[in-house]
């Protein structure tokens, strides 16, 4: 695995992401998405995990705070806050190793699944944090229209409906306003607490920043 150049500081926000090697699809069916989501919950601990019988139970003591995420066919994005020293690197090592082992066994393959070590960017401003909340939650729009930003006025309602119903994004968790087993939203500004009130803001962040 490649050596990371970026270190992580306590109580700071980071955008984590990675994709399949050679841009290959890493989620081939619904079970793959669900398994990765369950791993996102159970890997968030210092303790060793058992992946034989993965449940949707979350650990009592987490090592990072997760504020937003999305899983796409060949990549993923996670917005986190460093909670314990070394927590981010440990979490991602456990998550990507466990999923790679599952995927290779299921599809009878060998070798790396992801493009080396995970990528990260430091969230240095509140403006950038807001942008990432929007960017992550809007990512699924690319699945139905890669050029959606250029013609958003014509397709806004359709795109918003697709995004709000997309199963593998934390946006649904925020809309449902229920206890989340992956997210710890109390550690993040609740910019998008109510999707119906903030749908225009979601699009505005990308058009202004992108």
Instruction: Show the domains of the chain with their CATH numbers.
Output: 13-209 (3.30.70.1290)
Task: Kindly report which listed range (24-38, 55-69, 121-135) carries the lowest average pLDDT score.
Answer: 55-69
Mean pLDDT for the stretch of residues 108-130: 93
Report pLDDT for 108: 97
φ, ψ dihedrals at 83, nearest 5° = -105, -40
Residue found by looking up tokens 């401003």 in the block: 125
Report how far Cα 4 is from the mean position of its chain's Cα atoms.
Answer: 19
Q: How many other CB atoms sit within 10 Å of the CB of residue 138?
A: 22
- The two tokens of residue 76 are 């993923």
pTM above 0.75, yes or no: yes
- pLDDT-based confidence at residue 147 (cuts at 50, 70, 90): low
For residue 90, pLDDT over 90 is answered with yes
- pLDDT-based confidence at residue 209 (cuts at 50, 70, 90): very low
Contact assessment for residue 161 and residue 173, using Cβ atoms and an 8 Å cutoff? no
First to last CA, the chain: 31
Mean pLDDT for the stretch of residues 26-55: 87
Measured CA to CA, the distance from residue 93 to residue 43 in angstroms comes to 9
């Amino acid at each position: 695995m490649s050596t990371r150049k970026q270190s992580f500081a306590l109580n700071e926000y980071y955008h984590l992401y990675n994709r399949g090697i050679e841009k290959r699809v890493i989620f081939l069916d619904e079970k793959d998405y669900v398994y990765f989501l369950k791993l996102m919950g159970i890997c968030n601990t210092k303790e060793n995990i058992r992946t034989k019988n993965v449940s949707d139970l979350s650990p009592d003591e987490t090592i990072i705070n997760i504020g937003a995420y999305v899983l796409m066919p060949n990549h993923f994005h996670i917005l986190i806050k460093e909670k314990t020293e070394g927590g981010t690197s440990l979490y991602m090592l456990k998550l990507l190793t466990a999923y790679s082992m599952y995927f290779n066994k299921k599809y009878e393959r060998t070798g790396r699944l992801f493009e080396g070590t995970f990528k990260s960017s430091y969230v240095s401003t509140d403006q950038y944090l807001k942008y990432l909340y929007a960017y992550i939650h809007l990512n699924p729009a690319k699945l139905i229209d890669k050029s959606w930003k250029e013609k958003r006025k014509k397709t806004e309602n359709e795109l918003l409906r697709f995004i709000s119903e997309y199963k593998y994004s934390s946006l649904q968790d925020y809309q449902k306003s229920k206890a989340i087993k992956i997210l710890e939203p109390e550690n993040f500004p609740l910019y998008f607490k109510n999707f119906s009130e903030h749908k225009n803001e979601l699009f505005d962040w990308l058009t202004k920043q992108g």
